[in-house]
Copies of this chain bind each other. A is one copy, B any other.
Amino acid sequence: MNTTTGDQYLVKKINKAIVLDAIRKHGPLSRAQLSDLTGLNKGTVSTLAGELIEEKLASEIGLGRSSGGRKPVMLLFNRTAGYAVGIDLGVRYALAVLTDLEGRIVAEEQRELERRDADYALDVLAATVKALIAQAPESPYGIVGAGIGVAGIVDDKGTVLFAPNLEWENVELQRLVQDALGIPVAIDNEANAGALGEMYYGAGKEASDIVYLSVGTGIGAGIVIGKHLMKGSGGFSGEIGHTTIETNGKKCPCGNKGCWEQYASERALMDMAKPLGIERFDGLVEAACQGSPEAIRLFHEVGESLGVGIANIVNTFNPELVVIGNQMTRAEPWIRNAIERVVSMRSLPFHRRQAQIRFASLDTHSAVLGAAHYAISAFFAKERVTL
């Protein structure tokens, strides 16, 4: 039993959070509109709005249009009250952005990772973030925190349990980065971060059930149901890439046979491309651009395999939207049709609406923006009640 009990302070927290959320989502708004929208008494809204202004989280931006009476004073969320850092920690690169509290990018830094060990990555990360922080404008709250999306399995304590492609095991990334930077840090897997990014700032703004598929070296999925990120046990983000789609199929280094990512990942594609003498993904994309029938055939094949797994996801979660992100986005022209054909063939007929399939609208920035969102929402969750 450690449920938070109720008292007046809780009531105030709840209502203040409601008012701030309304301003963030629907601003600019007058106090009267806020009262209508939230159902709170005018007087209550007045006091709470006053305090939010005091705290620099909202500001009066002048008078609005009258509809036959006194002109309303419009309130706007003060999105530059602080700044957040979002980091996408990939295998060969680290991409970091500085955003305001609405997730708008104000600065960006990218670094190549020349080695894979955690110490090195940590050094690069710290330097990158410090370079970003130096660019942050003066603000009441300063840097409110950092979020990291990492290509590996993360638990709810912020430890990277296993990152095969980085060759990491049990790295306490959250603690390490937090100590290095001195600001609150949140960690999650790159696919989950991408899902949040697309939901809040990208292709899924209107949808509430989204699956974000990160198709790179491996395959990861961030699954959002009812605007909530689905987290497995212990914060475990599903290793859906190691789901069997061919019971006696290709051997996977994980020990299993017929894993999806043996057929549908970037790595699978490159394995298939070796006989063609093409070693890099860029090369294959180029070959396809120039009309190479072998290259195009390979993309079709991978697209079909992607479709099989996506159909499984659709049959299991019935999402409105499947967003394909990471490297494989660049293959859109050649895989899109194959995916759509296979998915519509294999997904159950009694779904009321057909799931749409899109490619990440934030391009390579889904994960990094989602990561920034972790920091922003942690900042707001701290002194508030989560609605």
Contacts and interface: CB of A to CB of B under 8 A. Distances in A.
Interface of A: 1-3, 5-8, 10-15, 18, 21-22, 26, 37-40, 153, 161-162, 169, 208-209, 225-226, 230-234, 236, 238-240, 242-247, 249, 254-257, 305, 308, 311-312, 315-320, 345-350, 352, 387
B246 A161 contact: no
Given A38-B1, A233-B319, A315-B240, A352 B6 contact: no
A40 B231 CA distance: 32
A225 B225 CA distance: 13
A255 B39 contact: no
A239 B349 CA distance: 12
23 contacts: A1-B26, A1-B37, A6-B10, A6-B12, A7-B11, A10-B11, A11-B11, A209-B234, A225-B231, A230-B230, A232-B317, A232-B318, A234-B318, A239-B315, A239-B316, A240-B315, A242-B348, A243-B316, A247-B305, A254-B349, A255-B346, A256-B347, A257-B346
A387 B233 contact: no
A349 B255 contact: yes
Contact of A312 (B1, B37, B162, B243): B243
A22 B5 CA distance: 12
Contacts of A311: 244, 256
